[in-house]
Chain A
Amino acid sequence: MTTTEASLPAVSEVARPAKKRPRAIGTTAWYVVALFICAVMVVPLLWMITIGLKDKTAVFDIPPRLLPHEFHWSNFIKGPQAIHFPRLFLNSVVITALSVLGGVMTAMMAGYALARLRFPGRKVWFYLFVGSMLLPGVVGLIPLFQMYKSIGWYDTWLPLIVPAFLGGNPLFIFLARQYFLAIPYSIDEAAKIDGAGHLRIFVSVMLPLTRPAWLTMAILAFQASWNDYLNPLVYLYSSGKWPLSVGMASFISPFAGKTPDWSYYMATNLLYMLPPLIIFFAAQRYFIQGLGALGSTNQK
Chain B
Amino acid sequence: MSRNAGSDVKAAYLFIAPAVIGFGVFVGYPLIRSFYLALTKYNGLTDPVFVGLGNFRRLFTTDPAFWPALRATGYLVLLYVPLSLVLGLALAMFCNQRFAGVRVVRTLAYLPVVLPAVATITLWKFMLDPQVGLLNTILDRLGLPTSLWLQSPKMAMPSVVLVMLWGVGGTMIIFLAALQSVPTELYEAAKVDGAGPWSMFFRITMPMISPIMLLQVILQTTAALQTFNQPKILTNGGPGFSTNVLMLSIYNNGFPTLGRIPQLGYASAQVWVLFVIIIAVIALTAKFSSLWTYSDNN
- B119-147: contact bitstring with A at CB < 8 Å (1 yes, 0 no)? 11011111100011110010010000000
B177 within 8 A of A: yes
B44 within 8 A of A: yes
Contacts A43-B134, A44-B124, A140-B34; is A230 near B229 (CB within 8 Å)? yes
> A165: which B residues are within 8 A, CB to CB?
18
B23 within 8 A of A: yes
Contacts A11-B180, A294-B177; is A249 near B118 (CB within 8 Å)? yes
**A112 engages B22 (CB within 8 Å):** no
Residue of B nearest to A42 (CB): B108
> B179: which A residues are within 8 A, CB to CB?
14
B50 within 8 A of A: no
Residues facing B in A122-165 (CB within 8 A) are 122, 125, 128-129, 132, 134-147, 149, 163, 165
**A134 engages B22 (CB within 8 Å):** no
Min Cβ gap A270→B in Å is 8
A60 within 8 A of B: yes
Residue of B nearest to A50 (CB): B134
Stretch at the interface among B57-65, B78-86, B150-158, B271-279: B271-279
Chain B contributes a number of interface residues (CB within 8 A of A) equal to 103
**A38 engages B8 (CB within 8 Å):** no
A134 CA to B281 CA in the complex, in Å? 11
- A1-40: contact bitstring with B at CB < 8 Å (1 yes, 0 no)? 0011001101111111111000000010011011001101
Checking B33, B94, B132 against A60 with a beta-carbon cut-off of 8 angstroms, the contacting residue is B132
Min Cβ gap A168→B in Å is 6
Residues facing B in A245-300 (CB within 8 A) are 245-246, 248-249, 252, 262, 265-266, 269, 272-273, 276-277, 279-280, 284, 287-288, 291-296, 298-299
**A248 engages B118 (CB within 8 Å):** yes
**B211 engages A269 (CB within 8 Å):** no
**Which 10 pairs across A and B sit closest by C-beta, in order of nearness?**
A295-B177, A167-B19, A166-B22, A15-B98, A143-B33, A113-B15, A140-B30, A119-B12, A198-B11, A110-B19
